[in-house]
Structure 1
């Protein structure tokens, strides 16, 4: 059995992976899980768009880029010393593979809000002094176009953003990409507008909270139909009936990332509003964690029901969010309780979802494929969607959770 406190020996096969152009790893005899999984993702060519695009590729690229860029920004020198690939180069490759799809604001609205997750990589490229002038111009054009597309995004009668092309449907999923993009873009190009933009972000987050709160778990249902015409829509709120782990995971990561990225307005009324949301959901996650494993169910409002199972992507996202809240000092006197919960969940992720391959890479198991409200949205639907192997929806959040664990160790 693997244990989360181990720093694992680098195998001779793994050392044959492409060397990092920016880091000398010759002195690295042990490897943290964060870089080991990140290198494995890169070795599989993930985080780069294939020739035939699907609507899910935007978020796949975006979450891989987020993980790699957070590794690059890590205060742990040992993390990058152990890297076997050039992370910034891989981010650039991912951006190059998709940027041509992002240069028409009207057409961008035909993609999910997940398209906005690409903003982090684009902004990093734009701000990097080593970027060529032509690539810098392309990155800025894509950023501006994505920003413009938010204004063109269809909205419901309350101003809530449609997640995709399904009329009047808003999902939790889109908040991870939306909140980060709006925050990063405004901080970079219109810092005087941060407070106004924060009001917009809070409004979108709160519309979902108002319509989707589940009073039994204190978490949020997957989404809502503002027209209340979908077969699954609750008659008053329009909410869907299931609290899906990964959708709540995207929302939870949106909150904690926003709190860190907006430290310049720390302890203002607006910042505190999002902090309260984060703390409420963190407390609810401790209550809904499986008592045996410490991890979280695929459908959170039906724990232990026949067919339900512990799902790896949502569990990795929640673990990341709890560790990060601890690092940022958000739990005050309850820090030990949340640290213990994150450690227990992380230990379970290592023991049950990480797979060591003979070629020296790591694989990741137990991640459900895409669950859409363009379905029956029943319990049976959620628990019978395929389980994917090496899905970056799970492995990239595991990189993020591992990095936070390693910082806190």
Structure 2
């Protein structure tokens, strides 16, 4: 599939008409024409044209703001929700804000926490008793905002999220269950949801023996996922592991799920490069994580589509009917490779590989509408293990889940990859 430009003619005429009317209007106070900045300020996000001369990171963030003017409704929600996708996109927005210093990006981040945290520090829609690792991801937003604002409600909310780690159910060897209802299960997804928050919180608020114990626990989660989900033959990691081996998707001998899902591996790669931002330089776990990251990168290169430089939904079955080049995982791998190489964790060749993958995303998965709105296509909407209706982790299951455009689990990593590559 080649890059296409979608044409929304009706919308374009509306925007052009609005701009013409505004230009025609004189400011009664000083009789001067309004500037282009004034015009953009008066047009609602859904009607705003997005300049095509900006970097891809900013163009995609503006497209997300246009799609979701309220950050609490990211992920196509009708009602505000505290969830991991919000934290993912807003941490990408943080990076764009730091690069551009444009206040509207900071406001977008702040407004989410302002909307979701009450004056008493209660997190709306969050239920601690569900022990859901996904819910820790948006804690990253509070870790960013609290030092800037010193708002007590943000600190109270942070302490609540941190308390979840202390009460999180664990496997017999200390691995976090993905959720309370997913008994005895570790998923690759959970490493990204919990460990960067856990390590960052520890860096900000803990000292001495308490901090050492927490950092050790963070590294232990990676050790366990390597021990239980790594396929030694391919170097890839299975989506999940059931210690009890009771799940229908679990291998009777190993407890692993049967397939290598692109986004699960993407979550894991991002978890490694992000946790290393907070793990002390002298912590022995750094060397292990960097070793895991290098093994991971080597394994991924073996299953990459050589023509497009992208990856398939089910990583090692690219030739199988129904499989497709998937945007969220490919964006995550581009980010992981680029950041890993820039930080010196991976050989320099992986930065070049990230650039090739990024170009593949632009060529095959990105489309731009006439008003400049950027779309990321071929995103797997959601995938999991077990539940009701039951998800059996078969090849057929993964390739038949909904495919949609602009899933935040893809747009967030695309922004992050754009920033690392300075595109």
TM-score of the pair, normalised by structure 1: 0.84
- Determine which of 80, 84, 96 is the counterpart of 1:59: 84
Question: 1:62–1:118: 8 Å Cα contact kept in structure 2?
Answer: yes
- Determine which of 106, 112, 118 is the counterpart of 1:94: 112
Q: CA deviation at 1:285?
A: 1.6
Question: 1:323–1:405: 8 Å Cα contact kept in structure 2?
Answer: yes
Alignment-derived partner of residue 369 in structure 2: 357
Q: CA deviation at 1:90?
A: 0.7
Moved more, 29-38 or 247-256: 29-38
Q: How many pairs are equivalent?
A: 373
1:387 and 2:403 matched: yes
Alignment-derived partner of residue 71 in structure 2: 47
Q: CA deviation at 1:118?
A: 1.0
Deviations 1:320-344 (A, max 9, x none): 010111211223xx41x21221111
Alignment-derived partner of residue 221 in structure 1: 238
Deviations 1:284-328 (A, max 9, x none): 122221111111110113222111111000000000010111211
Q: d(CA) in 2 for partners of 1:184 and 1:377?
A: 32
Q: d(CA) in 1 for partners of 2:404 and 2:122?
A: 28
Moved more, 250-259 or 349-358: 349-358
Q: CA deviation at 1:30?
A: 2.6
Alignment-derived partner of residue 141 in structure 2: 121
Question: 1:105–1:148: 8 Å Cα contact kept in structure 2?
Answer: no
Q: 1:350 to 1:302 in 2, by over 3 A?
A: same
1:273 and 2:297 matched: no
1:313 and 2:328 matched: yes
Q: 1:106 to 1:257 in 2, by over 3 A?
A: closer
Alignment-derived partner of residue 22 in structure 1: none
Question: 1:102–1:108: 8 Å Cα contact kept in structure 2?
Answer: no
Structure 1: gaps (5+ residues): 4-10, 20-27, 75-79
Q: d(CA) in 1 for partners of 2:212 and 2:155?
A: 23
1:4-83 equivalences in 2 (<5 Å): 17-18=40-41, 30-45=53-68, 47-49=71-73, 50=77, 52=79, 58-74=83-99, 80=100
- Determine which of 154, 171, 174 is the counterpart of 2:169: 154
Q: d(CA) in 1 for partners of 2:396 and 2:116?
A: 35
Q: d(CA) in 2 for partners of 1:113 and 1:102?
A: 18
Q: 1:53 to 1:233 in 2, by over 3 A?
A: farther
Q: CA deviation at 1:403?
A: 0.5
Q: d(CA) in 2 for partners of 1:236 and 1:102?
A: 43
- Determine which of 196, 212, 215 is the counterpart of 1:198: 215
Deviations 1:166-215 (A, max 9, x none): 21121110111211111111111114343322210111122111111122
Alignment-derived partner of residue 47 in structure 2: none
TM-score of the pair, normalised by structure 2: 0.82
Please tell me whether Structure 1 or Structure 2 has the larger radius of gyration of its CA atoms.
2
Structure 1 residue runs of 4+, over 6 Å off?
11-15
1:145 and 2:160 matched: yes
Q: CA deviation at 1:105?
A: 12
Q: 1:18 to 1:198 in 2, by over 3 A?
A: farther
Structure 2: gaps (5+ residues): 5-14, 20-35, 43-50
1:340 and 2:349 matched: no
